[in-house]
């Protein structure tokens, strides 16, 4: 009898344990997943509770997909879940490593963040080391940064010593630096008045200044500077033009019409007294022809453009 009573007690006790373990302490409450309260009393709050699995609010915000993954109204870096993400904290650009560190598409000195960095500052041109220090394509005295450097300032041209002092290819009065110098303001020789006007001991056509005066040119076919010679022939309507190969004048029947300074392709297109001359850029224009030995034919100087002993062009 005692044995049956013990067995009955154990059965009833075991049943009570099972009932106690399966009892719902939540009182039937549903876990609310975004109020920071353990609504169902199971010791787990909000998204920690399995009941909240699948709810948007419990999804993790992905910080670079332009989607509100957790449904809280904030996208990517605007969501507080992403505040600590590297994707939302712009990295500093390192200005000399060849890498786009901050991912904005600009590398090193091309990035505005590096504008003040020493690695991106243009070095100054050193004016006497034969190196293009600032990388602008000009070295030493050819760089405008060096124009005031003492060793880059041109030596002044002395206008009456027959020396090209500033080494620009022009000596004395043929140098533009001597324009207006008293040594170059000499009274010109009048070539048909019988007087030695410039007091150099030679008169009229005997003076080298008159070598190309019309009344002193009777010994040549024609003079392309003054257009003298061709038109004096009876019934002639030809003009005198300069031959760049022979360095002499020759008579040509067609009168050129291209004005001084205008574009041309051939000398005979220019009005008489001018030549079609190509500058260093390859642009050809009609330039005034001049006698290298004469004075006063050009506003500045007569430049030996052809290697001719007699003829050049007026500069500028």
Torsion-angle region of residue 230: left (phi > 0), alpha (psi -120 to 50) or beta?
A: alpha
| pLDDT tens-digit readout, 155-196 | 677 888 878 777 777 777 777 677 667 667 656 677 777 888
Statement: residue 16 has pLDDT above 60: no
- For the chain, percent of residues with pLDDT exceeding 90: 11
Residue 188's H or E segment, with its range, is: none
| pLDDT tens-digit readout, 77-105 | 888 888 777 777 667 788 888 888 777 88
CA distances from 209 to 159, 179, 287 (A): 18, 18, 22
Please report where in the chains the tokens 């009393």 appear, as a residue. Answer: 41
Mean pLDDT of all residues belonging to the chain: 78
pLDDT value of position 285: 94
Comparing 178 with 14, the larger pLDDT belongs to: 178
Beta partners for residue 242, in sequence order: 249
Instruction: Give the pair of three-digit tokens for residue 259.
Output: 């004005």
Statement: residue 115 has pLDDT above 70: yes
pLDDT value of position 20: 43
Task: Classify 171 as helix, strand or coil.
Answer: coil
pLDDT value of position 229: 76
Instruction: Give the pair of three-digit tokens for residue 115.
Output: 């504008």
Q: Which of 161, 155, 191, 219 is nearest to 297 (CA)?
A: 191
Q: Which of 273, 293, 261 is nearest to 225 (CA)?
A: 273
pLDDT value of position 262: 94
DSSP state of 61: P
pLDDT value of position 216: 66
pLDDT value of position 17: 44
Q: How many residues does the chain have?
A: 316
| pLDDT tens-digit readout, 212-260 | 565 665 545 688 998 887 765 555 678 889 998 888 888 888 788 999 9
Q: Give the confidence band of 315 by pLDDT, cuts at 50, 70, 90.
A: confident
pLDDT value of position 188: 67
* Furthest-apart CA atoms within the chain: distance in Å: 175
**Domain parsing of the chain, residue ranges:** 63-121, 217-315
């Amino acid at each position: 009898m005692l044995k049956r009573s013990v067995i009955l007690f154990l059965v009833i006790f075991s049943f009570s344990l099972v009932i106690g373990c399966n009892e719902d302490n939540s009182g039937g409450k549903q876990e609310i997943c975004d109020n920071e309260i353990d609504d169902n009393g199971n010791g787990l709050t909000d998204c920690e509770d399995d009941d909240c699995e699948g709810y948007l609010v419990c999804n993790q915000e992905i910080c670079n997909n332009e989607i509100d993954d957790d449904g809280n109204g904030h996208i990517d870096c605007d969501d507080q879940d992403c505040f600590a993400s590297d994707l939302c904290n712009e990295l500093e650009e390192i200005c000399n490593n060849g890498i786009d560190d901050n991912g904005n598409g600009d590398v090193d000195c091309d990035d505005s963040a590096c504008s003040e960095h020493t690695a991106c500052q243009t070095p100054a041109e050193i004016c006497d080391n034969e190196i293009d220090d600032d990388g602008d394509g000009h070295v030493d005295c050819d760089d405008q940064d060096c124009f005031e450097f003492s060793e880059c300032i041109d030596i002044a041209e002395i206008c009456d010593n027959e020396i090209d002092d500033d080494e620009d290819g022009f000596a004395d009065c043929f140098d533009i630096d001597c324009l207006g110098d008293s040594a170059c303001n000499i009274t010109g020789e009048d070539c048909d008045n019988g007087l030695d006007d410039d007091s150099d001991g030679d008169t009229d056509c005997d003076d080298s200044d008159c070598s190309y005066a019309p009344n002193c040119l009777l010994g040549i076919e024609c003079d392309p500077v003054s257009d003298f010679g061709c038109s004096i022939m009876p019934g002639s309507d030809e003009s005198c033009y300069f031959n760049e190969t022979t360095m002499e004048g020759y008579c040509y029947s067609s009168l050129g019409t291209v004005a001084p300074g205008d574009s041309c392709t051939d000398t005979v297109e220019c009005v008489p007294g001018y030549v079609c001359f190509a500058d260093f850029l390859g642009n050809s224009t009609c330039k005034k022809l001049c006698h290298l030995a004469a004075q006063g034919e050009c506003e500045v100087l007569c430049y030996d453009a052809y290697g001719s002993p007699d003829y050049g062009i007026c500069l500028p």
